[in-house]
Structure 1
Amino acid sequence: MSNEKRALLSVSNKEGLESFARGLVAAGYSLISTGGTKRLLEEAGLHVGSVSEVTRFPEIMDGRVKTLHPSIHGGLLGKRENPEHMNQLAELDIEPIDLVVVNLYPFEETIANPDVAESEAIENIDIGGPTMLRAAAKSFQDVTVVVDPGDYETVLQGLTDETLTLSERRRLAAKVFRHTAQYDSFIAEYFAGLTEEPYPESYSVSYEKVQSLRYGENPHQSAAFYKKANYTGASLGQAEQLHGKELSYNNIQDANAALEVVTEFTRPAAVAVKHMNPCGVGTAEDISSAYEKAYEGDPVSIFGGIVALNREVDEKTAAKLNEIFLEIVIAPSFSDGAHRILTKKKNIRLLVVDMTGKEENEHKLTSVAGGLLVQEVDDGNLNTVELEVATDRTPTEQELEDLRLGWQVVKHVKSNAIVIAKADHTLGIGAGQMNRVGAAKIALEQAGEKAQGAILASDAFFPMPDTVETAAASGVKAIIQPGGSKRDQDSIDACNKHGIAMVFTRMRHFKH
């Protein structure tokens, strides 16, 4: 049995591989490789042995079987400190393998194409690669395993000066098991889609780290931000930060809430958010006017909040945004002039987010102690339902527009939720109350005299007519709510008494 150290290299991502391989040779390693990796290294002038020479068996089935062989896996799994293992290797003429460099067929990138054929996706499921990685990682006490080109420099330095510790090899092994687990989760998710099993017996998901955070909701809580790979909807995970200090945990929560609301609208829209609830929403023919309306919705709560806009921020809008303190402004883009204006403030964060995409069949995940709740994202909207007029009076065209706006907003307000709106913007929002009339009182108090002629949107039905009576006292002229209470007629009668138009959606929008 030779004392020469051997490295097996078989990679899909060949970034940095040539210089790393040269370093291995300089450190006394002989190289073994397969296919395209072997060709690349040989073209670079390196001597590389083939896996087929090691196994004494050819690659078969278009390369589906090449490294699945005892001469490879015996060389990886044999325990150096176990005499019986080493004797067996010697008897079978199997040489130990000391280092493995493998990354996998690009399954994730392949299925990112929405038109990918099932056959193509299947051929990009790597079998030999994960098996070698897992075998090498299991034997980390004897074998160094590298899955990430970002580790090449550190590993090579440790091998060259013989300072690569057991702790470092354990770290590399842990990275491998995370990598193969993520790879398998992509495959599991893909097949769950093919078999139309949204809630299988086990739920596999994978997220990639975006950044460590200074702390979580409070300074004594640690935290990090992860993103879902291949996500096609509007997402902070794909955001580009143009200016300002690092986002905090609470910033990300609030920014996501703002993004979810603003992407509801096709017209130019602006949304202000505070503590994950919208505090002002406006729509108009241009983005500057939409922001003015959102600001007017609650000029107090917007201070120190987050604003999301679904059109490019121009100089006129930027000048208005610059008049108050805001934590974050989110938009699809910023004009050069807008960027110059807003970056005069050191701490404001400017985020560019592509708002054109949409994630199909998306799930919302909520952690509970020792478990996970999984449900469809609430994509319900008035495009899929027919409004049912429940009262004697039918809403006017303007009232219907305002009712639609209120319904789009109340969907994103913590239950119990009430929204007061008029003339394409919100006037008052009551969020997270323990009873519905309490939420209505908060929203109506905020709207004040502007509630005269406004609409009221409720995320769930009225169990009694008290909310209608409270709305009528403030001058509300139209109401939108799901309906479905055993006492609906009481609320209908109260609306008829006060000349209020009320429509049922037959769709609830609880948000806990």
Structure 2
Amino acid sequence: MEQKTALLYVSDRTGIVEFAFELSRLGYAIVSAGATAKLLLQAEVVIEEVENLADLPEPWDMRLKMAQPRLFAGLSMPAGAADLHIGLAAINLYPISEIAEKGYLSETEVMEYVDPGASALLKAAARNFTQVISLCDPMDYEDTVSALSEFKDIHLKRRRELAAKSFSHCSYHDATVAQYLAHDWTAFPEEWVIGLKKNQDIKFGENPHQKAALYRRTGERPWGLPAAKLLQGSALSFNHYLDLETAWDLVSEQTDSACALVKHASLVGAAAGYRLSENFRLAWESDPANAPGSLVAFNREVDAETAKQIADVYLECAVAPEFSQEAAEVLKLKKDLRLITLPSSLIAAKEINIHPISGGLLVQEQNQHTLPVEIRAVTQRTPTETEMHALKFSWLIAKHTKSSAAVLSCGTRTIGIGSGQPSATEAIRIALFKSRNRHPILAPSDSLVLASDGPLSMDCIVEAMHTGVQAIIQPGGTSHDNHTVHVCNQKGISMVFTGLRHFRH
């Protein structure tokens, strides 16, 4: 009867000693190498070291010794076709993601953890899954021992599952190495593998019947939303993360101090350029009927004054780069409020946006554009300095609002937002309705401006002029442009074309 042989060569040595003892009890001869072999020998497991399987040059390091033909033949050929048949291989690769994230290792040092021999052996075992049990996860040891003890073998379906898991382990490892070396996104390659690691489980998805988890990209230090730190409150939900992305992206693009309220991934209100507490008050007053239950984001450290205002209202989450010690003391009494800190969300060059669709992914460059260096006034009356400041603020707000989007602002605070509509006309009507109901009286000094993420038709301009809009910012570039400019000139409205569209879906 042919001797059963198991190859054990792991970076994650969780449970490997116990597993080796069980395999020995089941009649397996153990072959091992490197640190795994050293650990097993210390535990007094009887093993054969890989070095003894062939006459190999002494200077060779373990990665070269693992690439010897006898091991590959033992994993790849049918039982009896080679002098060594390996029926079980427990191999896992170095966690390159965790190693690269340390940040203090040089590229050369990180690459020392790439073991091509181990990867090739695991793939050889997985390829021959009808003859070899391939294991890469210590969590699978117990079930494997149970099956071998009871049935003397493992069902073909389970072998196939373990083989798929092994190939996935190798692919994840290789993708992480590729991401680490590439640094930047290569524009739309013909073939693309993404390395992702589960950051955390989420209680449920958009709805309670949907399972969910948060994954982060590997091969780099955690950044963006996976790097969020929860200071207090219960774990973030799936919907909280969607709101957080919208709000954080918006305030991060503002150079002045800014605040944004988001609910169901839709912008409720925003303000910038005032004291942080005033930004919060104005953002809340933009739509006080819908503000309760929102997520609020700030791009500056939250101080005690702002914290006291937050404590007086109902919010789900508050996110900022930091919370002062005094602010944290004020807010710790609100047990249901989640406090989150996030590092700068400045988008990396060539960062991408991925949208899953049935059977594939839509991939595009991230929308990093804000305003052209020179924006063009197309009307006889050019915007005043105050109006231009308000227009630039409103344009950035519209960029982060679901299309079709219309943003009405007084200075650098929103007073009416229409979003997620099939037409710009409908979005403007909603924004106007909200502004009339929430802000029926405006100070004469306030500059009422309108921003649209897409080009405006004549109907849109007519809707706007009846509300006292003094300045408009929009992409332009349609057959209606001459007509809309003419009407704005008649009414003394200044209008700016950006030549840039900001649709967001």
Report the TM-score when normalising by structure 2.
0.84
Provide the residue aligned with 2:475 in structure 1.
482
In 2: Cα distance, 1:21 partner to 1:501 partner: 77
CA 1:46–1:246: 2 relative to 1, 3 Å: same
Provide the residue aligned with 1:250 in structure 2.
239
Gaps of 5+ in 1: 79-84
Is residue 455 of structure 2 the alignment partner of residue 454 of structure 1? no
CA 1:217–1:106: 2 relative to 1, 3 Å: closer
Contact 1:103 1:129 in 2 (8 A): yes
Is residue 397 of structure 2 the alignment partner of residue 404 of structure 1? no
Offset, 1:247 = 2.7
In 2: Cα distance, 1:96 partner to 1:339 partner: 59
- Deviation digits for residues 183-242 of structure 1 (CA, Å, limit 9, x no counterpart): 233355567778x84112233223222334443323343333322225668522222222
In 2: Cα distance, 1:135 partner to 1:357 partner: 43
Provide the residue aligned with 2:418 in structure 1.
430
Q: 1:317 corresponds to which letter in structure 2?
A: T
User: Alignment length, in residue pairs?
Assistant: 494
State the secondary structure of the residue aligned to 2:483: helix
Q: 1:362 corresponds to which letter in structure 2?
A: E
Contact 1:111 1:121 in 2 (8 A): no
Provide the residue aligned with 2:497 in structure 1.
504
Contact 2:249 2:345 in 1 (8 A): no
Identity %: 33
| 1:96 corresponds to which of 67, 86, 93 | 86
Provide the residue aligned with 1:237 in structure 2.
226
In 2: Cα distance, 1:40 partner to 1:505 partner: 66
Q: 2:284 corresponds to which letter in structure 1?
A: Y
More displaced stretch, 177-186 vs 290-299: 177-186
Contact 2:455 2:477 in 1 (8 A): yes
Provide the residue aligned with 2:168 in structure 1.
178
More displaced stretch, 151-160 vs 242-251: 151-160
Offset, 1:433 = 1.5
Q: 1:185 corresponds to which letter in structure 2?
A: A
Q: 2:464 corresponds to which letter in structure 1?
A: A
Provide the residue aligned with 1:68 in structure 2.
67
CA 1:293–1:217: 2 relative to 1, 3 Å: same
Offset, 1:67 = 2.2
Provide the residue aligned with 1:81 in structure 2.
none
Offset, 1:164 = 10
Q: 1:492 corresponds to which letter in structure 2?
A: V
In 1: Cα distance, 2:162 partner to 2:325 partner: 44
In 2: Cα distance, 1:337 partner to 1:441 partner: 42
CA 1:312–1:169: 2 relative to 1, 3 Å: farther
In 2: Cα distance, 1:261 partner to 1:492 partner: 30
| 1:471 corresponds to which of 449, 454, 464 | 464
Is residue 268 of structure 2 the alignment partner of residue 284 of structure 1? no
Provide the residue aligned with 1:310 in structure 2.
299
1:5-84 equivalences in 2 (<5 Å): 5-11=5-11, 16=13, 20-21=16-17, 24-25=20-21, 28=24, 32-35=31-34, 49-58=48-57, 65-78=64-77
- Deviation digits for residues 105-156 of structure 1 (CA, Å, limit 9, x no counterpart): 7378459969976x8777765422221122333455665544346x388579
State the secondary structure of the residue aligned to 2:215: strand
Provide the residue aligned with 2:485 in structure 1.
492
Offset, 1:171 = 5.7
Is residue 321 of structure 2 the alignment partner of residue 325 of structure 1? no
Contact 1:8 1:97 in 2 (8 A): no
Contact 1:105 1:125 in 2 (8 A): no
In 2: Cα distance, 1:405 partner to 1:385 partner: 15
Contact 1:271 1:282 in 2 (8 A): yes
- Deviation digits for residues 300-336 of structure 1 (CA, Å, limit 9, x no counterpart): 2111111111222232222211222212212222234
Q: 1:56 corresponds to which letter in structure 2?
A: D
- Deviation digits for residues 13-39 of structure 1 (CA, Å, limit 9, x no counterpart): 6xx56x733763586376544456556
CA 1:174–1:87: 2 relative to 1, 3 Å: closer
Q: 1:263 corresponds to which letter in structure 2?
A: S
Offset, 1:434 = 1.9
CA 1:131–1:298: 2 relative to 1, 3 Å: same
Provide the residue aligned with 1:82 in structure 2.
none
| 2:136 corresponds to which of 147, 151, 155 | 147
Contact 2:4 2:85 in 1 (8 A): no
In 2: Cα distance, 1:142 partner to 1:337 partner: 65
Q: 1:24 corresponds to which letter in structure 2?
A: A
More displaced stretch, 154-163 vs 433-442: 154-163
In 2: Cα distance, 1:154 partner to 1:59 partner: 36
In 2: Cα distance, 1:107 partner to 1:51 partner: 28
